[in-house]
């Protein structure tokens, strides 16, 4: 018997049989090994060593590790603008040895302070970029040059032994003060504040879906602030936001110009940087991005919606894969995004110069645009699912060089026909599932099957299913009134938009059944009956309501209260007399 069970048994015996004469002791002898080894001292010592080693391993496994420096819990994060201002002032003017506390509190700022955090994050710097580079070199901070290249990262990738910081915030806080020259102290304070704000931004973006898009936009702007000084740390802040940042990054990666002469413009560089961050997160390809957020339908729908803006060619087949998803929200987002691929003006196709046989040159298609990728993916899907819907292939550009408008609109027609075919197939499957559920002789099993269909977000025949739930609720009204009321409510919800009068009647019936439940206070019964009378005027209900209103308030009998207090006093007296309330039991364990 384990020590805990023995202790519990001793306490139970003491309570039932009376007070023991002395404090009970529990002696447990534990031995591991074969029986003939007990009398052999050497073998017994070896067995005891094994037991102690096993206990030590178990103790180490259960002992929590000391928290790392990065996981230190920050107390009292700022929640008001005044608290944030006070902490910012402490970082800018306080003693250098005391910057860690205010900086960590800023990094853990509440999401409600994001507007103020954003303003400070994007504030202009007065010190030259060279001063920041000089200071950050002490921690291995990689600052891009005027061409946008990172020298330290290049050296590390090519085998050079250089220090490269992967966390500017912590490295700055632990930087020895002797490495900061007096002239760079203001720059040091500004770097600590900026990295704290970057960490706060990533925390807000990861935890607040309503502000994640604005956080991503602000971080992308901060990447090129002050000629890109903090871009390396900004990239880590964007990665720290995680998958919620994917939709905003996809939209931001849409370049405003593909012309060669515009590639050095800030807005074009910003789009390229957003694409680079997606690649760094391994979310650049649509298949990887959608797979990463597959368990979150709302986030998945937002990612699919972002492809309607960016329209990468690789997303065409991915969108078709979600066109018949079980989630209504995901399915609608996928279809709307794919419609954006096949509707509207045709995109321009990029060309390239090719060398012909004989020494001449010509022009050829450089790559397929998103409309071509959607057309190919759609023809493959129709060929696999519904080949009868396929139209004969055609050429958009006729022999005379003019566009064939009918051929140009073929992908849109194919899309509409395919989506209608998917809806018809899903409707047929739902009707078959409803027929199979209602054909069951067990109403409880039928209700469970119908509940699974309802959980998918759609139902083929809601009126028919509501009728079944109403009939089943009537059967359970006497034996299981609580379940009956729930079924009445479910039937009422299914009839909304189809038969409002019957829906109101079933809702009133649910209220009446709930008012008849046991252990319900009189005020609760009156409230439910009043609500039912608002829906259905019934003489019997009014009579029940009047009877409840005129009945005296319920009071517990005095004898029950006396018995309760007497029982509590008896138990307390027994425990006090046995010493079980103050003195712990002793136990001795021999291994």
CA angle 553, 556, 561 (to 5 degrees): 155
- Which residue shows structure tokens 């078959």? 432
Contacts of 444 (CB under 8 A, 6+ apart): none
Contacts of 355 (CB under 8 A, 6+ apart): 361
Tokens read off for 271:
């789009």
- State how far the Cα of 75 lies from the Cα of 107, in Å rounded to an integer: 11
pTM over 0.75: no
Per-residue pLDDT of the chain (591 residues; tens, 9 = 90+): 454 444 444 444 444 444 444 444 544 455 555 555 566 666 677 777 777 777 777 766 665 554 444 444 456 899 999 999 999 999 999 999 899 999 999 999 999 999 999 999 999 988 999 999 999 999 999 999 888 889 999 998 999 999 999 999 999 999 998 899 999 999 999 999 999 999 999 999 999 999 999 999 999 999 998 889 999 999 999 999 999 999 999 999 999 888 888 888 889 999 999 999 999 999 999 999 999 999 999 999 999 999 999 999 999 999 999 999 988 899 999 999 999 999 987 777 655 555 666 666 655 555 688 998 999 999 999 999 999 999 998 888 777 777 788 888 999 999 999 999 999 999 999 899 899 999 999 999 999 999 988 887 778 888 999 999 999 999 998 899 899 999 999 999 999 888 888 888 888 888 888 888 887 787 777 888 788 787 777 777 777 777 777 766 544 444 444 443 444 444 444 334 444 334 443 333 333
Contacts of 142 (CB under 8 A, 6+ apart): 136, 150, 151, 152, 153, 164, 165, 232
Helix ranges, 343-404 (H)? 370-385
Beta strands 25-29 and 586-590, pairing class: parallel
Q: For the chain, first and last CA: distance in Å?
A: 14
Q: Is residue 108 classed exposed, middle or buried when 0-12, 13-18 and 19+ CB atoms within 10 A define those classes? A: middle
Which among 389, 252, 410, 294 is positioned nearest to 346, based on CA atoms? Answer: 410
Helix ranges, 311-461 (H)? 315-321, 328-342, 370-385, 405-408, 410-438, 443-455
Three-class DSSP category at 291: helix
Domain 461-554: give its CATH architecture.
Alpha Horseshoe (1.25)
Tokens read off for 143:
């600052």
Three-class DSSP category at 362: strand
- State how far the Cα of 93 lies from the Cα of 110, in Å rounded to an integer: 23
Residues of the chain with CATH 1.25.40: 461-554
Type and span of the H or E element at 355: strand 351-355
Q: Is residue 199 classed exposed, middle or buried when 0-12, 13-18 and 19+ CB atoms within 10 A define those classes? A: buried
| 348 C-beta neighbours (distance < 10 Å), count | 8
DSSP secondary structure letters along 135-147: HHTTTT-----TT
């Amino acid at each position: 018997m384990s020590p805990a069970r023995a202790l519990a048994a001793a306490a139970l015996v003491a309570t039932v049989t009376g007070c023991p004469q002395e404090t009970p002791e529990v002696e447990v002898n534990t031995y591991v090994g074969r029986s003939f080894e007990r009398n052999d001292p050497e073998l017994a010592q070896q067995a005891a060593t094994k037991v102690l080693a096993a206990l030590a391993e178990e103790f180490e496994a259960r002992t929590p590790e000391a928290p790392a420096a990065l996981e230190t819990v920050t107390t009292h994060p700022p929640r008001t603008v005044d608290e944030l201002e006070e902490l910012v002032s402490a970082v800018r003017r306080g003693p250098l040895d005391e910057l860690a506390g205010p900086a960590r509190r800023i990094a853990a700022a509440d999401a409600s302070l994001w507007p103020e955090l954003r303003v400070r994050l994007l504030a202009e710097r007065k010190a030259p970029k060279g001063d920041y580079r000089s200071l950050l070199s002490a921690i291995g901070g990689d600052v891009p040059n005027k061409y946008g290249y990172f020298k330290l990262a290049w050296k590390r990738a090519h085998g050079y032994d250089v220090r490269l910081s992967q966390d500017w915030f912590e490295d700055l806080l632990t930087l020895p003060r002797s490495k900061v020259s007096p002239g760079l102290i203001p720059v040091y304070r500004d770097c600590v504040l900026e990295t704290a704000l970057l960490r706060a931004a990533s925390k807000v973006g990861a935890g607040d879906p309503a502000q994640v898009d604005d956080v991503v936009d602000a971080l992308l702007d901060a990447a090129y602030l002050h000629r890109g000084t903090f871009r390396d740390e900004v990239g880590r802040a964007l990665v720290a936001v995680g998958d919620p940042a994917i939709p905003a990054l996809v939209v931001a990666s849409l370049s405003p110009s593909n012309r060669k002469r515009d590639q050095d413009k800030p807005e074009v560089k910003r789009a390229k940087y957003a694409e680079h961050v997606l690649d760094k997160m391994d979310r650049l390809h649509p298949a990887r991005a959608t797979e990463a957020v597959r368990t979150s339908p709302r986030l998945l729908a937002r990612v699919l919606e972002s492809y309607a803006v960016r329209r990468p060619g690789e997303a065409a087949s991915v969108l078709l894969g979600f066109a018949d998803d079980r989630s209504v929200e995901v399915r609608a987002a996928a279809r709307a995004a794919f419609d954006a691929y096949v509707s509207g003006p045709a995109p321009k196709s990029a060309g390239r110069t090719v060398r012909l046989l004989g020494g001449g040159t010509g022009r050829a298609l450089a790559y397929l645009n998103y409309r071509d990728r959607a057309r190919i993916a759609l023809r493959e899907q129709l060929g696999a699912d519904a080949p009868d819907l396929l139209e004969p292939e055609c050429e958009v550009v006729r022999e005379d060089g003019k566009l064939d408008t009918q051929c140009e609109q073929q992908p849109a027609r194919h899309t509409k026909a395919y989506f209608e075919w998917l809806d018809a197939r899903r409707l047929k499957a739902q009707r078959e599932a409803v027929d199979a559920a209602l054909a069951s002789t067990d109403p409880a099993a039928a209700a469970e099957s119908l509940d699974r269909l309802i959980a998918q977000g759609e139902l083929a025949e809601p009126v028919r299913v509501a009728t079944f739930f109403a009939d089943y609720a009537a059967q359970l009204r006497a034996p299981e009134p609580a379940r009956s009321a729930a079924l009445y409510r479910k039937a009422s919800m299914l009839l909304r938009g189809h038969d409002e009068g019957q829906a109101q009647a079933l809702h009133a019936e649910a209220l009446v059944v709930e008012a008849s439940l046991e252990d319900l206070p009189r005020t609760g019964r009156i409230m439910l009956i009043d609500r039912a009378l608002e829906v259905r005027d019934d003489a019997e209900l009014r009579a029940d309501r009047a009877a409840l209103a005129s009945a005296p308030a319920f009071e517990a009998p005095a004898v029950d209260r006396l018995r309760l207090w007497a029982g509590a006093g008896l138990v307390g007296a027994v425990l006090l007399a046995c010493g079980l309330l103050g003195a712990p039991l002793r136990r001795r364990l021999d291994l």
